[in-house]
Structures are given as C-alpha cells and as structure tokens.
Amino acid sequence: MTKLSLGTAPYLLGFEQLERLLERNAKSGNEGYPPFNIEQTSDNSYRITLAVAGFSQRDLAITIEDRQLVIRGRQHDETEGRVFLHRGIAARQFQRSFVLADGVEVGEAVMENGLLHVDLTRAEPETVVQTIQIRKG
C-alpha cells in the first residue's frame, strides 16, 4: 500500500505548502512549557493565553515569522549576590510557535496577572467568481 500525502493527491493542487507546515510544526519542539489555552472569542476571533508567571514584559518577545506566531520568553538573571538555600523556581526560557492560516492577523497582546493574552482575528474571505474565457487553439 502506498502512502498518499497532500502533495500527491490529484485534486489538491497547490497544497504542498500545507504539508510542509504540518511537518515543520511537528518538529518545532513545542514542549509542555509554558501551558497555554486557545479560545474562540467570536466567529472570527481567537485568543491565545500563555501562563508566564515570573516573566516581565521585557522578558517576552512576540514575532511573526513565515506565517508562524512565535512567542519567546527569556528571564534575565538577577540573582548575582543572592544566596539561595533552596531554588525551586527555575529561570527557564521558552519558545512557543503557532501556525497562522492565511487571513489570520495578530492583534494586541496584553499581560495580566501572570498571563499573556494574544488576540487573533480572521478576515472573512470574499467569495470571488471568476470566468475563464476559452480560446480556440
């Protein structure tokens, strides 16, 4: 039995990029930290919420790279001169990636009570009907 992929299905023309996106997302190394929620806030809007306790606004960066929303966190080490008897709160860094569909735009990002909220909206696609003229060859 042969494996049928998106790029080889005869009626799915131009979807090779979708298959590459799925492979890239599977390899992105998104581990379980930090935990996050994705909620649909209306028919065309979403909110991603990451639990980023211990991170300040200056420790976080949000970018869009090749149709991926990338959220990075890196805490600055401010422990010089301090003596810990126990250190159970690790200062770790993270990177979370979310693949964005065409038409999805990133809105505002808000930090509130140790939670980072990133709002997304999806533009309502226009229905376009195009007539192709057939010429005699």
Q: What are phi and psi of 57, to 5 degrees?
A: -60, -35
CATH of the domain at 102: 2.60.40.790
Q: Which residues contact 15 (CB under 8 A, 6 or more apart)?
A: 6, 7, 9
Are both 37 and 13 inside the same structural domain? no
In a 3-state reduction of DSSP, which class is residue 53?
coil
- Split into its structural domains, the chain has a count of 2
Residues 94 and 39 both lie in one domain? yes
**Mean pLDDT, residues 8-17:** 69
Distances (CA, A) of 51 to 17, 32, 48, 64, 117: 31, 11, 10, 20, 9
Provide the pLDDT for residue 76. Answer: 78
pLDDT in tens, 59-86: 999 999 988 999 999 987 777 888 989 9
Same domain (yes/no): 7, 41: no
Residue 133 lies in a domain: no
Q: Give pTM, 2 decimals.
A: 0.73
How far apart are alpha carbons 107 and 46 in whole angstroms?
10
Range of the domain at 43: 31-122
Do 100 and 47 have their domain in common? yes
pLDDT, tens only, 81-115: 889 899 887 778 999 999 898 889 999 999 999 99
